[in-house]
Amino acid sequence: MSQRRQFTLNTDPHVAEIGETELLFQPEVMGDEFLDAYEDLQEAQKRLGVDVNNLAGTDPDKLRSVVRSLRLFLARLMLPESAAEFVRWEVIRDGKVVDSFGTPEEADEHAAQLKGATVKDVGMRLPDRVLVELLEWAVELYGGGRRPTGSSTDSAPVSPTPGTRGRAASRSKASTRTAGR
């Protein structure tokens, strides 16, 4: 007997409400798109030599770069209009905006071609806790709820021993005494 199963694709964008702002995320992301973006995020963190599970004592410039890589990762999963609001670097010359770019590298490259031009990050500013929550939400949406790759620190914690430990002496201990001991 043959079987038939219908699969539905999401067509409505996922919406992240942050205050008065709504950021629209792609309704569906192909697995390799998500994995490529996630891999780029991990590579950026490795290049910086930063352990995101232990940021104590990390150089502030490296922390800024980690946050920037996280913002770029999230923007890759957004619809273009939201991504342009979320991450944007402007090239400024003589006090006027010359152009806007979606990555700091593109903006730096363009600014280098213009005498006296500077780059300014004018993307959406959010507290780190919100960025982390957005990351977790995106992983849940597109990655099946777990980080697709990662260090062994992402392993599940050890399960607690079932039940509670009693204070009574074990009967088996009491019953195994032998004469002469």
Together in a domain, 109 and 51: no
Looking at the 3D structure of the chain, how many domains does it have?
2
Q: What are the residues facing 93 on neighbouring strands?
A: 96
Together in a domain, 39 and 62: yes
Together in a domain, 138 and 74: yes
Cα–Cα distance for residue pair 70/151, rounded to 1 Å: 17
- Give me the pLDDT at residue 66, please: 87
Together in a domain, 54 and 78: yes
pLDDT tens digits along 85-109:
999 999 999 999 999 999 999 999 9
Task: Report the 10 Å Cβ neighbour count for 147.
Answer: 14
Together in a domain, 137 and 118: no
Together in a domain, 69 and 49: yes
Cα–Cα distance for residue pair 26/152, rounded to 1 Å: 30
- Give me the pLDDT at residue 171, please: 45
| 105, 122, 139 - which closes a domain | 122
Residue 167 lies in a domain: no
161: left (phi over 0), alpha (psi -120 to 50) or beta: beta
What one-character-per-residue DSSP string does 70-120 give?
Answer: HHHHHHHTB-HHHHHHHS-EEEEETTEEEEEESSHHHHHHHHHTSTT-EEE
Together in a domain, 20 and 73: yes
Segments forming the whole domain that contains residue 48: 11-83+127-149
- Given a cut of 80, is residue 181 above it in pLDDT? no
Residue 5 lies in a domain: no
Mean pLDDT, range 150-162, rounded to an integer: 38
Residue 158 lies in a domain: no
Q: Is the pTM of this model over 0.85?
A: no
16 pLDDT band, cuts 50/70/90, is very high
Together in a domain, 33 and 78: yes
